[in-house]
Amino acid sequence: MWRGVVAAYLSVRGRSGSVDVWDSIVIGAGQGGLAASYFLNQRGVDHLVLDSNPRPGGAWQHRWDSLTMHEVHGVADLPGDPAPGRSSERANVAVPNYFADYEQRHELRVVRPVEVTEVTSAGALLVVHAGERAWRTRTLVNATGTWTSPNWPRYPGAEVFRGEQFHTATYPGPEYLRGKRIIVVGAGASAVQFIGELAPIADVAWVTRRPPVWRTEEFGPQTGLQIVTEVEKRVVAGLPPSSVVGATGLMLRAHEQEAAELGAYDDPLPIFERLVPEGAQWADGTVEAADTILWATGFRSAVDHLEPLGLRGPLGGIPLERVPGNVQAATTAVHDRRVHLIGYGPSASTIGASRAARRAALEVAQQVTDRAS
Ligand SMILES: Cc1cc2nc3c(=O)[nH]c(=O)nc-3n(C[C@H](O)[C@H](O)[C@H](O)COP(=O)(O)OP(=O)(O)OC[C@H]3O[C@@H](n4cnc5c(N)ncnc54)[C@H](O)[C@@H]3O)c2cc1C
């Protein structure tokens, strides 16, 4: 009932031309956005969450069906409620259910589906636009993740290739690809997972731009801290962020052993030069025939809607303010301190997003209080 009342109230209150001004608007209702909303509520900050998805679950609702809670790296807790643990349940069911319960239990004010098209500055206020609708706010927490911004490299010949092409974001699952000749492109965890389930049932060739980096030991907190620290340095310096999750190194798990025994991970091919109608071609003229190219080539931060604010520095990234002693707490945009980014750079993991959300809420609460006094 509460949700229906809220949706009706908020859509009226948020219309363009409304005289109301929010203390904060959160964009995105994934791990980062929900955690931010929780902490903003704790601090009494009047805010709304806008999310482009029709349902709760952030990017997790779009993960492929064969990804179970055994295969994910691990989903960190949202503040105050334990996340689902390892199980054979589909990640695209378990995590969205967790998020949906969380939104209800903590009475988070999420309006969906609302796709923010741009954020502009109007004097002391920011204006969040979604088509004809607009919300005015004193501060902004951006938590839009990466899923809606797939990194899909375009090689010459992409348009003449006669087969099908998919990205991780559109992976159709193993049954669809059974018996096909598939080229998997990419040296990250998604490529390893896809090969694990495809090699036993299809003819798979693995192609990588750089040699894959294998890890022989379980991933510990010390390694995690090192990786996050490196990403934080890049972001503070104003460089485009590298991926935290992608930098953890690759390790085969039990369900990938069959593919390993088939030699599917041995000696990946270097990246091809172009696509041709029947497959991929290398500079020496060699052609690998394929029915399908699967681009497991990662994602970029989904921040195009922030372009009007001019947050980027000359090196192409959005520089964030460093917080000494806490590498995941860099959230405040250097070029506009009203804007806070979480799930960006060092906080682009479920644990990082939750931690960054706490910091962003603290900053927002201080900024709102400072303006009021
Ligand atoms: C394939 C894959 C597997 C991963 N596995 C793990 C893992 O096992 N463990 C881990 O810790 N991390 C993992 N990550 C990283 C992790 O998913 C994210 O870093 C983490 O969930 C942070 O969530 P988020 O809130 O930043 O983003 P998301 O969960 O992506 O949520 C962002 C939300 O914002 C919405 N949105 C985007 N643009 C707009 C817009 N313009 N207007 C309105 N709404 C918008 C989206 O629709 C979405 O609902 C994985 C990432 C990928 C791509």
Which residue's structure tokens are 């906080």? 347
**Is any ligand 1 atom within 6 A of the Cβ of residue 115?**
yes
Residue 8's pLDDT is 39
86 close to ligand 1 (CB < 6 Angstrom): no
143 Cβ inside 6 Å of ligand 1: yes
Phi, psi of 299 (to 5 degrees): -140, 160
The DSSP letter of residue 371 is H
Q: Do domains 2-148+300-372 and 164-214+250-295 have the same CATH topology?
A: yes
Q: Which CATH architecture has domain 164-214+250-295?
A: 3-Layer(bba) Sandwich (3.50)
Distances (CA, A) of 319 to 18, 54, 147, 218, 293: 32, 31, 21, 32, 35
241 CB under 6 A from ligand 1? no
> Would you say the CB of residue 299 lies under 6 angstroms from ligand 1?
yes
Residue with CA closest to ligand 1 atom 34: 28
Residue 167 Cβ inside 6 Å of ligand 1? The answer reads no
Q: Is 58 in the pocket of ligand 1 (CB under 6 A)?
A: yes
What does the alpha-carbon distance between residue 131 and residue 329 come to, in Å, rounded to a whole number?
32
Angle between helices 31-42 and 91-105 (to 10 degrees): 10
Q: What is the pLDDT at residue 6?
A: 45
Q: What is the pLDDT of residue 110?
A: 98
Under CATH, what is the fold of the domain 2-148+300-372? Answer: FAD/NAD(P)-binding domain (3.50.50)
Distance of CA 70 to the CA centre of its chain: 20
List C-alpha distances in Å: 133 to 121, 123, 127, 315: 16, 19, 10, 33
Q: Let me know: does 45 contact 368? Beta carbons within 8 Å.
A: yes
- Give the per-residue pLDDT at 5: 40
Tell me the residue length of the chain: 373
Question: How far, in Å, from the CA of 275 to the mean position of ligand 1?
Answer: 31
pLDDT at position 328 is 82
pLDDT on residue 15: 38
Tell me, what's the pLDDT at 137? 98
Q: With left for phi above 0 and alpha for psi between -120 and 50, is residue 77 left, alpha or beta?
A: beta
What one-character-per-residue DSSP string does 105-165 give? HTT--EE-S----EEEEETTEEEEEETTEEEEEEEEEE---STTSB-----TTTTT--SEE
Nearest protein Cα to ligand 1, atom 7: 73
Give, using CA atoms, the residue closest to atom 35 of ligand 1. Answer: 28
Peptide bond into 113 cis (omega under 30): yes
Any ligand 1 atom below 6 A from CB of 195: no
State how far the Cα of 332 lies from the Cα of 176, in Å rounded to an integer: 44
The CA distances from residue 361 to 79, 132, 331, in Å, are 13, 28, 10
Query: Which one-letter amino acid corresponds to residue 186?
Result: G
The atom of ligand 1 lying closest to the CA of 117 is 41
Cβ(305) – ligand 1 distance below 6 Å: yes
Name the residue with the closest Cα to ligand 1, atom 49.
Answer: 58
pTM of the entire predicted model = 0.92
Helix (H, G, I), strand (E, B) or coil at 206: strand
What ranges do the domains of the chain cover? 2-148+300-372, 164-214+250-295
Q: What does pLDDT average to in each consecutive run of 10 residues of the chain (373 residues)?
A: 42 46 98 98 97 98 94 92 96 98 98 98 97 96 97 96 98 97 95 97 97 81 85 93 78 91 96 98 97 97 98 96 88 97 93 94 95 78
Q: How far apart are CA 254 and CA 86, in angstroms?
A: 14
